Structure 1
Amino acid sequence: MSDGKIALVTGGSRGIGRDAVLRLAARGVSSIITYKSNRAEAEAVVALVEQAGARAIALRLDVGEAASFDGVVEQVRQALADLGASRFDYLVNNAGTSSSASLETITEAEMDALYAVHFKGPMFLTQKLLPLINDGGRIVNISSGLARFAMPGRIGYGPIKAAVESLTRYMAVELAPRRIAVNVVAPGPIATDFSGGMVRDNPEVNKAISATTALGRAGLPEDVGPVIAGLLSDDFGWVNAQRIEVAGGIHI
């Protein structure tokens, strides 16, 4: 899978993104990873990638600030030059934020923020990066199990992730002439610091999730990272415009 391949992973300093970057590094793929605020955390991932024999560069990015993308693209261009390349092969639109708002409590500002980070951000970041992605490359967007099933308190997050799944299919159609495949991974509840660590740190929530999951536990980042890395590999070269739920069989 390597052959000097390079991935760009947004939100690659934590959780699922971090695990995906490390799985790619194990396959010899170097990465440009983005972080929003914690540079030390991102640099720690860079060090782990280098220990694995690949290379990595960390860049700051707020996916919700589309006006910054032109500048980010120039930083990516420079990072690629530092890696000895002019283009990259894989894009993972992973960075995201959580929301626990209900229909009664959600505000217009909160919904606008979810749209900016989860839909508008990946759409326009991908658009800006297209000249830097190699023909025959691959893109993975990140959705959520909440796009398929509904739970209280996710009225903003779940539907916007469903929109990401539709966006994925449209991307796959439009990028087909360049042989760029686009798929979407939909994790179930994952034990990370996402949503304030709710799944990881709240025993009652973790127990409830385990009880409704066929395989009997909540997910972990290491359940999802290998799937993302796999979808980017030639092993899945004929898989395109597909939604892959990685959730242990929750709410079957």
Structure 2
Amino acid sequence: MTASDDSPVPDFLGRLRLEGRSYVVAGAGQGMGRMTAHALAQAGAAHVVCVDLEEDRAADIARELDEASGRSVAIPWVGDVTRREDAARLGAEAEAATGRIDGLVDIVGMARWQSILEMEDETFDWEIDICLRHAYLLSQELGRRMVASGGGTMVFIASVSGLTGAPMHAAYGAAKAGLMAWVQSLAVELGPHGVRANAVAPGTILSPRMDAVFTDEQRAANGGNSPLGHMGETADIASAALFLTSDLAAYVTGRTVVVDGGVDAKFPYPVTL
């Protein structure tokens, strides 16, 4: 202590630890979801329920987590969380397998590229389902269990496309903007029950999916657009999700953390000197 401050100093590294807690990672089979599952396991989570639409991907990440951690931590789970019946089954089966659900990290989402005037109804509806509706379903099915058990954390992966205009993927941007508004409402309504809700908004991230379609020129252009001079990686998003999940963020709720390498910090107008 100092002469003017005798408040106790907390164990900051301990606040990052997740021992004894159980988490659901929706979209765990690849990219940001895979890295987030590893981050939670490395931080000591007792259980990580690895949710994916594909059985092989769910099984692969579960096996990978167990091998990396040297313990039985992962529970593979297969289903379509855009459907009410599957979201309800996830809540019931995850709770039965782990004893209680302490947190959710939801990575599910994808963009289709179409102009507004050419966009089909099916594309718009699909984007709402995969980027927003499933978040509503998981918030209810897992949120009720968190409230009943005394609290928990929710982290949703949004996008910078929901913060600015999203040319050629406007439905995706609108759904992600809605997701960030949803997170704020979750925080306000569930905060009194001990549940925190936050979002991470990635910029251009070199995920396996993007790496497969980007040309060298596109990689260079996106990397050069960041003040840091390079594109982000999936581990950068997992790191932000881990922070928001942990007790280091115990007083953070209703917020969206932008992880874009500083792109949105730049002056957006042409400068003439």
Q: Same fold (TM over 0.5)?
A: yes
Aligned equivalent of 1:132? 145
1:70 aligns with 2:84: no
Superposed, 1:64-143 pairs within 5 Å as 64-80=82-98, 85=99, 87-133=100-146, 134-143=149-158
1:211 aligns with 2:227: no
* 51-60 or 223-232, which deviates more: 51-60
Superposed, 1:1-252 pairs within 5 Å as 1-29=17-45, 30-37=47-54, 39-51=55-67, 52-54=69-71, 55-80=73-98, 85=99, 87-133=100-146, 134-194=149-209, 197-198=212-213, 201-251=214-264, 252=266
How many Å apart are 1:151 and its aligned residue? 4.2
How many Å apart are 1:102 and its aligned residue? 1.2
How many Å apart are 1:188 and its aligned residue? 0.8
- In the superposition, the TM-score normalised over structure 1's length comes to 0.90
Task: Give the conservation status (yes or no) of the 8 Å contact 2:19–2:43.
Answer: no
Larger Rg: 2
| 2:212 maps to amino acid | G
Residue-by-residue CA offset, 1:9-32 (whole Å, 9 max, x unaligned): 100111001101101111111200
* 16-25 or 49-58, which deviates more: 49-58
* 165-174 or 110-119, which deviates more: 110-119
How many Å apart are 1:168 and its aligned residue? 0.3
How many Å apart are 1:238 and its aligned residue? 0.8
Helix, strand or coil at the partner of 2:150? strand
Distance in 2, Cα, partners of 1:70 & 1:25: 24
Distance in 1, Cα, partners of 2:130 & 2:170: 16
| 2:104 maps to amino acid | L
For these two proteins, the number of residue pairs brought into alignment is 244
- In the superposition, the TM-score normalised over structure 2's length comes to 0.84
Q: 1:169 to 1:136 in 2, by over 3 A?
A: same
Distance in 1, Cα, partners of 2:212 & 2:185: 33
Residue-by-residue CA offset, 1:200-252 (whole Å, 9 max, x unaligned): x4222212211211111111111111110111111111111111011111243
- CA-based RMSD: 1.7
Residue-by-residue CA offset, 1:95-153 (whole Å, 9 max, x unaligned): 11221111122111111111112111111221012232242311101100111233421
Task: Give the conservation status (yes or no) of the 8 Å contact 1:33–1:58.
Answer: yes
* Structure 1 unmatched ranges of 5 or more: none
Task: Give the conservation status (yes or no) of the 8 Å contact 1:64–1:113.
Answer: no
Distance in 2, Cα, partners of 1:165 & 1:152: 19
How many Å apart are 1:72 and its aligned residue? 2.9
How many Å apart are 1:53 and its aligned residue? 3.9
Distance in 2, Cα, partners of 1:196 & 1:222: 14
Helix, strand or coil at the partner of 1:184? strand
